[in-house]
Amino acid sequence: MGRQVSLDTSKRVALVTGGSRGIGAATARLLLERGYAVCINYRSNTAAAENLLRELGSDDLIAVRADVAEEAQVLQLFEEIDARLGRIRALVNNAAIVQTQTRVVDMSAQRINSTFANNVTSAFLCSREAVKRMSTRYGGQGGAIVNVSSGAARLGSANEYVDYAASKGALDTFTRGLSNEVAAEGIRVNSVRPGLIYTDMHASAGEPGRVDRLKSSIPMQRGGDPREVAQAIAWLLSDEASYCTGSFIDAAGGR
């Protein structure tokens, strides 16, 4: 969205993909509170992005529409951040989709490919562009990347969405590999794996009440709030986590 933000080089610039709702929106709110300039990226829900801009009413917040599974749109996204906020120092790869619950025997190639493009390719593309700007190898000042994975990567999500779980498993491997690749270039790469969190993603899979159905299986006996996940993300981005890279925080209530 076209509102111009004045460049303030004293602020760390953060990009939160899939940032208009749920965990992404909670993360954007928290990072603003902690003094970041933030770009929330969204793919199609303009109303949600506009509502968040109005709600937060900050001169340090912009929203940019882009499908981060598409390379050309990722390039345009980062060029807009460069122009409107400055060089990125923090990236949260949060954009992801989950599709209607079904078994593997009923999954089409189109569905599987779409899941991996949105959940894995997007993180590769955004991280690539972030590394170009953060890495001391390319004249950057360093930075931090947090990949939002899922407890599903450990559990598999049988009979529901094994494709989503597998894509998050791939994201975990990506976290480990990229963290080792850029550790000596001033970039830390970590991951948060949320469990059953109250967001509208469950409705996208066809069961809006899924958290309440399964919360008794969680040792803490409750679902999580998006802000609880955002706090873990913000900590990993912060200097308090300066010796953490290739690390995983399971924000899943003990499950």
3-state SS of the chain?
CCCCCCCCCCCCEEEECCCCCHHHHHHHHHHHHCCCEEEEEECCCHHHHHHHHHHHCCCCEEEEECCCCCHHHHHHHHHHHHHHCCCEEEEEECCCCCCCCCCHHHCCHHHHHHHHHHHHHHHHHHHHHHHHHHCHHHCCCCEEEEEECCCHHHHCCCCCCHHHHHHHHHHHHHHHHHHHHHHHHCEEEEEEEECCECCCHHHHCCCCCHHHHHHHHCCCCCCECHHHHHHHHHHHHCHHHCCCCCCEEEECCCC
Percent of all residues in the chain with a pLDDT value above 70, rounded to a whole number? 96
Give the span between the Cα atoms of 138 and 209, in whole angstroms. Answer: 47
How many other CB atoms sit within 10 Å of the CB of residue 208? Answer: 12
Give the span between the Cα atoms of 90 and 234, in whole angstroms. Answer: 10
Range with the lowest mean pLDDT among 86-95, 110-119, 135-144, 192-201? 192-201
Average pLDDT, the chain: 95
Percent of all residues in the chain with a pLDDT value above 90, rounded to a whole number? 92
Is the pLDDT score of 9 beyond 70? Answer: no
Strand bridging mode 248-251 / 143-148: unpaired
Give CATH for domain 13-251.
Answer: 3.40.50.720
The predicted-structure confidence for 34-54, as pLDDT tens digits, reads as follows 999 999 999 999 999 999 999
Mean pLDDT throughout 220-231?
97
CB proximity list for 123: less than 8 A, separation 6 or greater: 93, 147, 171, 174
Catalytic residue set: 164
Sorted by where each begins, the domain ranges of the chain are: 13-251
Task: Give the pLDDT of residue 167.
Answer: 98
Strand-by-strand arrangement of the 61-65 sheet: 61-65, 37-42, 13-16, 88-93, 143-148, 187-194, 248-251
Task: Give the pLDDT of residue 5.
Answer: 54
Give the span between the Cα atoms of 127 and 31, in whole angstroms. Answer: 19
Give the span between the Cα atoms of 220 and 218, in whole angstroms. Answer: 5
